[in-house]
Every structure is written in structure tokens, then in C-alpha cells.
Amino acid sequence: MLPIEFARASGGAKKSDPAEKITLVICPDTPRVRTYWTLLDVPNMRAARERLAVREYAGADANWTDTNIGFWDRASGERH
């Protein structure tokens, strides 16, 4: 159960796909809803964030990723 809501307009995953999409984001002051997940085959958290960033915004660079792609690492407890 996570506090998520369709609250962000994101650009297409590729420059050839400029269409905006409404994206789910964590919104602490919203009701919790049942969520599902799947594995992402990447070697570490940084790679996972980079993969998600490019999906969200084709022009994503390291700064954009650090600002816009949050995470929670269960093993270390680190979050952003």
C-alpha cells in the first residue's frame, strides 16, 4: 500500500514520442492504494534510477535524475 496519485505530466520515453503522459507519483498526503511491482534487471539503484529517468523524460541527465527520481533502498534504509 502506497500513497500514490496520478500527479505528474511526463514527456514521451523517446524524442520520437513527445506525447505527454500522466504518471503516478508518491504524494504523502493522499490515501494509500494497493500497488504491484515487477523486477527491473539492473545492477544497482543508480542504474534503476537512470532507466526510470529516461522513461520519464527523454532529455534526462544526471542532475535531472537526482532531482526528479526518488528511491528507497530497503537494505540500507537510504531514501530520497
Q: Read off the pLDDT of residues 41-59 as tens digits, 9 standing for 90 and up.
A: 999 999 999 999 998 888 8
Q: Which domain holds residue 32?
A: 4-68
77 dihedral zone (left: phi>0; alpha: psi -120 to 50; beta): left
- Over residues 17-50, the pLDDT tens digits come to 666 778 888 898 999 999 988 889 999 999 999 9
In a domain, 77, yes or no: no
44 in a structural domain:
yes
Considering its fold, how many domains does the chain have in total? Answer: 1
Would you state the pLDDT for residue 18?
A: 62
8 within some domain:
yes
- Give the confidence band of 15 by pLDDT, cuts at 50, 70, 90: low
Supply the pTM of this predicted model. 0.61
Q: How far apart are CA 16 and CA 68, in angstroms?
A: 22
